[in-house]
Amino acid sequence: MKVIQAGIGGMGNTWLNAVKRSDAVDFAGFVEVSDDIARAQTDAYNLDPARIFQSLPQALEAVEADAVINVTPPQIHREICVSAMEAGLPVLTEKPLAGNLEDARAIVSAANATGVLCSVAQNYRYRPLTHTIKAILASGELGAAAAVRAEFYRGPHFGGFREEMPHPLIIDMSIHHFDMMRFLLGSDAISITARSWNPPWSWFDGDASAAAVIEFANGVQASYIGSWCSQAFETSWNADWRFECERGVILVEDDRVYVQGLLGVDADARGAAGAHDDKREIPLIGMERESQDYLLHEFCEAVTQGKSVGTTAQDNIHTMEFVFGVVEACDSGKTVRL
Ligand SMILES: NC(=O)c1ccc[n+]([C@@H]2O[C@H](COP(=O)([O-])OP(=O)(O)OC[C@H]3O[C@@H](n4cnc5c(N)ncnc54)[C@H](O)[C@@H]3O)[C@@H](O)[C@H]2O)c1
């Protein structure tokens, strides 16, 4: 499969390397608006400068491609995804599907109208940690989950669009955790109460901290708290988690998964204080490919063999509605129902 990659700076590096590692995918060309980045990446990756174009239409004119990988900033996603699909090329786009809900819905409409695949890179789903939690929940060992808590604290200095956008934490980062909630619970958010704030020392223009309480269609209650300008005791990018289940708890700390339950406790003794099994660490499930490598392989099989993908734009619009529901709840101070 030959792809055009739009956006080769920043996160574009991850995709340049994922394609390099793949036996099944090769580059037809690139789209990059910054001459400096185009020059630097030509040197770093030994790219053919004649195959780097200023716009997707120019690239489509000049090279034969089977698909597009979109790694531009969110406000450009609609333009790239819709142009690709209208040209008949499937697109694998970085999250968020778009910079706002209107653009995201326009991408879904284009996917429906053209019948062309738009896959969204919600890579946090495709990690050993997430798969391990999903497997524990699916095993039924601990019974159904009734409540979930996720906590995320980091303090990255990225520069660029994130430091100027509104709600950088929620739209650019928490989207991964909200999408993980959808994936792990197999359900969609229906009601959101939330609040956001910007700590006095924040280097972001928009609110870099937020807390939300979310109800899911299957009755699970979730609480989320996060900050993108935390100065110490950082959590993993995957966040720390706690799942309150009928017969025990799943605890995720620093990318390690623990369970404690009632499996070994005699039915008559279950009500007694402290009556539970010892804390057990669960080894992470091994995956042949993860994150962007997983997504690229899945996308390639969809394009070349017609297989399905887990995170289509049509599915991802529910993650986008969740994210922008949290934004609306923060801005309005009201409970948002989806
Ligand atoms: N899945 C993840 O874990 C993850 C991590 C980081 C970033 N991302 C996503 O990747 C996307 C890009 O983020 P980034 O951090 O690389 O941003 P960035 O600003 O560092 O890089 C974007 C690149 O796109 C180029 N570009 C801008 N407009 C363009 C256009 N019209 N056509 C072609 N190229 C254009 C820029 O010159 C730059 O090289 C965002 O949607 C971001 O949310 C995802």
pLDDT of 188 above 90: yes
Specify the residue with its C-alpha closest to ligand 1, atom 27: 72
Report domain extents, the chain: 2-121, 125-287+321-337
* Per-residue pLDDT, 107: 98
Whether the CB of 315 sits within 6 Å of ligand 1: no
* Per-residue pLDDT, 150: 98
* Per-residue pLDDT, 265: 73
Specify the residue with its C-alpha closest to ligand 1, atom 22: 72
Q: Which residue has the higher pLDDT, 267 or 297?
A: 297
Which pTM does this prediction carry? Answer: 0.96
CA of 8 to the centre of ligand 1 (A): 8
Whether the CB of 74 sits within 6 Å of ligand 1: yes
When mean pLDDT is compared across 62-76, 118-132, 253-267, the lowest value belongs to 253-267
When mean pLDDT is compared across 24-28, 264-268, 312-316, the lowest value belongs to 264-268
What is the assigned CATH class of domain 2-121?
alpha beta
* Per-residue pLDDT, 108: 98
- What gap in Å lies between CA 4 and CA 18, rounded to an integer? 13
Q: pLDDT, tens digit, for every residue of 199-209?
A: 999 999 999 99
- What gap in Å lies between CA 94 and CA 96, rounded to an integer? 6
When mean pLDDT is compared across 6-20, 54-68, 144-158, 253-267, the lowest value belongs to 253-267
Confidence band of 183 (pLDDT split at 50, 70, 90): very high
The label of the residue with tokens 């946090």 reads: 124
If you average pLDDT over every residue of the chain, what do you get? 96
Q: Which of 35, 54, 71 to mutate to test the pocket of ligand 1 (most atoms within 8 A of CB)?
A: 71
Q: Which of 3, 4, 11 to mutate to test the pocket of ligand 1 (most atoms within 8 A of CB)?
A: 11
pLDDT of 263 above 90: no
Type and span of the H or E element at 325: helix 313-332
Question: Phi and psi of 240, rounded to 5°?
Answer: -95, 145
* Number of C-beta neighbours around residue 11 at 10 A: 16
Q: Among residues of the chain, what percentage have pLDDT more than 90?
A: 94
CA of 188 to the centre of ligand 1 (A): 27
- What gap in Å lies between CA 121 and CA 254, rounded to an integer? 23
Confidence band of 312 (pLDDT split at 50, 70, 90): very high
Q: pLDDT, tens digit, for every residue of 273-284?
A: 677 888 999 999
Enter the CATH code of domain 125-287+321-337: 3.30.360.10
CA dihedral 92, 93, 97, 99 (to 10 degrees): -160
- Which of the 8 DSSP states describes residue 185? H
